[in-house]
Structure formats: structure tokens, C-alpha cells
């Protein structure tokens, strides 16, 4: 049995082929979004002109002198360029001067990026013709108010705009149900102090829920963080937000725009339907968890795969990104003598072995995924993976999750 897995979202999009003996029991689980039609340019335009809770984008653009367009970073596979091209057409048709538009990457505490990331997210034409800025979460942020004891400090350049637009995506998130909504603005374009305050509040909330991330992740009812940051975002002023729902090829199957919290509620409900995966009657000996939508957050695919796996089984995490795991100023690994502001803990207590299948060796991925050394083995080729499997199993029961980093259990 042969299966092609979507991979290399930022590195040429070459799929990865895996195969198993025909006599093995192999289950394949796709996300429902893969059965949806891809939106056309005309449908994208229509959705931007019929937003939730705000006037059409073309009306909001009239008379504006400085427009900032925020977009998410490489930790999400959002096809920002597909949407941005239509946004620009609407703005220019409304009379906005090209030189009065700029883009800004909203990475939160994920560091800064260069031309390669901008090309991947926005495309050659936009990178060649428009100013694209990074966000510095350590300075050049101004306070817009205080809420729940947190000083809300936001990027100065974005604050200076008379029209603020954001392009992001709906992806499962352990703290907030889904990414999307106002998260692109807060914490995406905030100071590190603000992020620390917000994450401490949400960490406390997660603890009250028993840190049950299977319950918290990818469920529209988990609104605590979105409701809190929506109050914070109101201090900034109008923010026209666009959220994308994608299939496993990172093609648009849904788009929601307008008031960030209002459109998020609709987008999350649709996203939940598009990403909810069926369960198995009994757990598998081996789970193949493909990680393409969130390549630099490989732990997301790992967490999704665990409910499908027998205790003591083997989880193969497929992740061929050249860029490795995203840096994280707030809670990343900076060495034994450099503690992050928010400690991550001692690692996941996994009831299985993890095979990290990637053509690129990446020892740092182990720490980024919170794995202890004895939990983690690297396999460079599919042949290497099969050698690990056949060394322990004669005829295993296999479950293949073709897009685990977006899947919801």
C-alpha cells in the first residue's frame, strides 16, 4: 500500500511517499477539508466585501493614508499571498496609493525573518513591490492600556496606521482552541512583557482544566483566551481581520473576514468541522503522523497522534522542513544557563517511542518537542523507518494521519 503525504510546504512542496506490505492492516485518516472545493479569486473577493460586523473592505479603505497588513509567520501554512493579492486589488481600486501600504510579519515571540519566509508567505510580486517589516517584540511598542494587570504594548508602526488589516489562519492551538481572530494582533504584534502576562493568565486557565490539551485544542468552545484578548484589541482600534481555513495542501477552502472576534466565532465553527478526524475502534500499534501545516511546531502533530496509539506503541512523526523548529523568546530553549521567561517543564511523559522522520537531521527538534533523549530516534529515509518498525513488529496495525498538525481528535 502506497500513500503520498503532503510535505515541504516551504521547500518546494515535494510530497513524501510511504508504503507498507499489502498484508498489513493500514488505516488512512484524512481531514474533512480535503474533500472541500478550493475557493476561487472571485469567492475570496466576495467574502472580503461581505465581512462580519464591519463595513466592506473597499469602503473602509476610502480616504486612508497609511495601511498596514499583518500576516502570520512560517509556523502556520496560511496561504497569505493568495489573499493579499485580492486585498491589494481592493485597496488600490478604492484609491489607496501603493506607497501608502506596507506589510508586517506578526510572529509574537518567534523571532524575525528574511526574504525566503516573505516569499513563501506572500509571493514574488508582493516582496518585489512592497515594504515588508519584521516585528521586534523587545522594543518600539506603545502601551494602549491595562487589562487584568497586563500592560498592553503594541507595535508602534502598526498603531500609526489609519487602517489595520490582518491575514491569518485557523489552526488547532493548545491554549486557545484555534489560532485566528485577534491573536495575530495580540500577542502577534505585542511586546514580550505583554505576551508574558497573557500567557501566565492562560497557563493558569489551562491548569484549572487539568492541562487536558486534547480537550482544549481545536474546539470552538475554548473561548477564554479569545474573549480576553478581544477586550485588549479594542484598545487598539479597528482591526479588519481575515482568517483562512485550509486543506492539507494549504489551499483555501474557507475564508472569514471582519470584526476579529465575530468572524473568529464563525471561522472556528467551520474549522472544527473541517479538521475533526474520526476515531479508531481500537488503537494502532504504530501511528504515522504527518506534520505539514505547522512544520516548525512539530509537537502539534505529536499530540494529535497519541490518542490513536496503543500504550507502548511507536509514533512516526513526518516533518521534512529545512528550517527546523521555530525559536521562541518567551518559552524556548536557550541553554542550561539561560532560562526562558516561562519554563516549559521536564518534557512529555510519552507512553511510546517516537521516530522523527526527516531528511534533515535536527537534534534541536527533540528539545522543541519536549522529548527526553530516550524517547526520540531520527530516521532520514522511509527505509530507515521501516527498519525500525520491522525490528519490533511482524504484522503491525498501522494508522496514517495524513495531516496531524491540523487534525482534531
pLDDT tens, 260-310?
999 999 999 999 999 999 999 999 999 999 999 998 988 889 889 999 999
Residue 184 sits at the vertex; the CA angle it makes with 205 and 84, to the nearest 5 degrees, is 155
Give start and end residues of each alpha helix (H) in 9-48: 41-48
Nearest to 275 by CA among 247, 301, 296, 251: 247
Domain 2-31+277-401 is found in CATH 3.90.226.30: yes
> In whole angstroms, how large is the CA radius of gyration of the chain?
21
**Nine-digit cell at 131?**
515594504
How far apart CA 183 and CA 347 sit, in angstroms, is: 26
Q: What is the largest CA-CA distance in the chain?
A: 69
How far apart CA 289 and CA 399 sit, in angstroms, is: 8
HSE-CB of 130 using CA atoms within 13 angstroms: 27
What are the pLDDT digits (tens) for 107-146? Answer: 999 999 999 999 999 999 999 999 999 999 999 999 999 9
Nearest to 386 by CA among 398, 376, 375: 398
pLDDT band for position 376 (cuts 50, 70, 90): confident
Q: Under CATH, what is the fold of the domain 35-274?
A: Rossmann fold (3.40.50)
| Residue corresponding to grid cell 485577534 | 182
Instruction: Tell me if 108 sits within 8 A of 143, measured CB to CB.
Output: no
State what percent of residues in the chain have pLDDT above 70: 96
Instruction: Tell me if 388 sits within 8 A of 379, measured CB to CB.
Output: yes
- Residue 123, number of CB atoms within 10 A of its CB: 16
Domain segments of the chain: what residues? 2-31+277-401, 35-274
How far apart CA 221 and CA 270 sit, in angstroms, is: 13
Residue 23 pLDDT > 60: yes
pLDDT band for position 346 (cuts 50, 70, 90): low
- Residue 305, number of CB atoms within 10 A of its CB: 28
**Nine-digit cell at 84?**
493579499
**Nine-digit cell at 301?**
502533530
pLDDT of amino acid 209: 73
What 8-state DSSP symbol labels residue 179? S
**Strand pairing category for 131-133 and 2-5:** unpaired
Provide the mean pLDDT of the chain.
Answer: 93
Give start and end residues of each alpha helix (H) in 324-373: 363-368
pTM of the model: 0.95
What are the pLDDT digits (tens) for 203-228? Answer: 888 788 776 766 678 878 878 889 99
What are the pLDDT digits (tens) for 65-83? Answer: 999 999 999 999 999 999 9
Phi, psi of 16 (to 5 degrees): -110, 125
2-31+277-401 and 35-274, same CATH topology? no
Residue 372 pLDDT > 90: no
Helix H or strand E encompassing 204 = helix 192-208
Across the chain, how many H-helices and E-strands are there? 13, 18
How far apart CA 256 and CA 220 sit, in angstroms, is: 15
Amino acid at each position: 500500500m502506497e500513500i503520498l503525504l503532503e510535505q515541504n510546504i516551504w521547500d518546494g512542496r515535494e510530497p513524501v511517499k510511504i508504503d507498507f506490505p499489502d498484508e498489513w492492516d493500514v488505516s488512512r485518516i484524512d481531514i474533512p477539508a480535503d474533500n472541500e472545493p478550493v475557493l476561487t479569486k472571485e469567492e475570496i473577493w466576495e467574502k472580503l466585501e461581505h465581512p462580519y460586523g464591519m463595513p466592506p473592505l473597499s469602503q473602509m479603505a476610502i480616504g486612508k493614508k497609511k495601511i498596514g497588513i499583518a500576516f502570520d509567520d512560517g509556523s502556520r501554512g496560511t496561504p497569505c499571498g493568495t489573499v493579499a493579492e485580492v486585498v491589494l486589488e481592493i485597496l488600490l481600486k478604492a484609491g489607496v496609493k501603493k506607497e501608502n501600504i506596507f506589510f508586517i510579519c506578526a510572529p509574537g515571540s518567534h523571532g524575525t525573518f528574511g526574504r525566503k519566509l516573505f516569499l513563501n508567505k506572500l509571493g514574488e510580486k508582493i516582496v518585489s513591490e512592497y515594504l515588508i517589516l519584521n516585528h521586534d517584540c523587545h522594543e518600539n511598542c506603545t502601551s494602549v492600556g491595562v487589562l487584568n494587570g497586563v500592560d498592553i504594548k503594541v507595535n508602534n508602526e502598526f498603531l500609526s496606521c489609519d487602517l489595520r488589516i490582518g491575514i491569518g489562519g485557523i489552526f488547532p492551538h493548545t491554549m486557545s482552541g484555534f489560532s485566528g481572530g485577534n491573536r495575530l494582533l495580540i500577542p502577534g504584534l505585542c511586546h514580550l512583557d505583554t505576551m508574558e502576562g497573557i500567557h501566565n493568565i492562560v497557563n493558569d486557565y489551562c491548569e484549572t482544566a487539568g492541562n487536558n490539551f486534547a480537550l482544549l485544542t481545536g474546539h470552538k468552545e475554548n473561548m477564554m483566551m479569545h474573549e480576553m484578548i478581544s477586550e485588549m484589541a479594542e484598545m487598539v482600534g479597528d482591526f479588519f481581520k481575515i482568517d483562512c481555513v485550509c486543506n492539507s495542501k494549504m489551499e483555501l477552502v474557507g475564508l472569514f473576514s471582519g470584526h476579529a472576534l465575530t468572524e473568529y466565532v464563525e471561522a472556528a465553527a467551520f474549522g472544527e468541522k473541517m479538521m475533526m478526524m474520526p476515531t479508531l475502534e481500537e488503537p494502532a500499534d504504530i501511528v504515522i503522523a504527518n506534520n505539514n501545516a505547522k512544520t516548525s511546531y512539530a509537537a502539534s502533530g505529536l499530540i494529535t497522534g497519541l490518542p490513536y496509539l496503543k500504550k507502548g506503541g511507536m509514533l512516526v512523526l513526518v516533518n521534512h522542513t529545512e528550517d527546523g523548529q521555530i525559536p521562541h523568546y518567551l518559552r524556548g530553549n536557550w541553554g542550561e544557563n539561560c532560562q526562558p521567561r516561562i519554563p516549559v517543564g521536564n518534557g512529555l511523559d510519552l507512553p511510546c517511542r517516537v521516530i522523527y522522520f526527516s531528511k534533515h537531521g535536527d537534534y534541536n527538534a527533540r528539545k522543541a518537542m519536549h522529548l527526553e533523549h530516550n524517547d526520540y530516534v531520527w530516521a532520514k529515509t522511509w527505509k530507515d523507518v521501516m527498519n525500525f518498525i520491522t525490528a519490533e513488529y511482524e504484522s503491525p496495525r498501522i494508522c496514517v494521519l495524513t495531516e496531524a498538525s491540523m487534525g482534531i481528535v
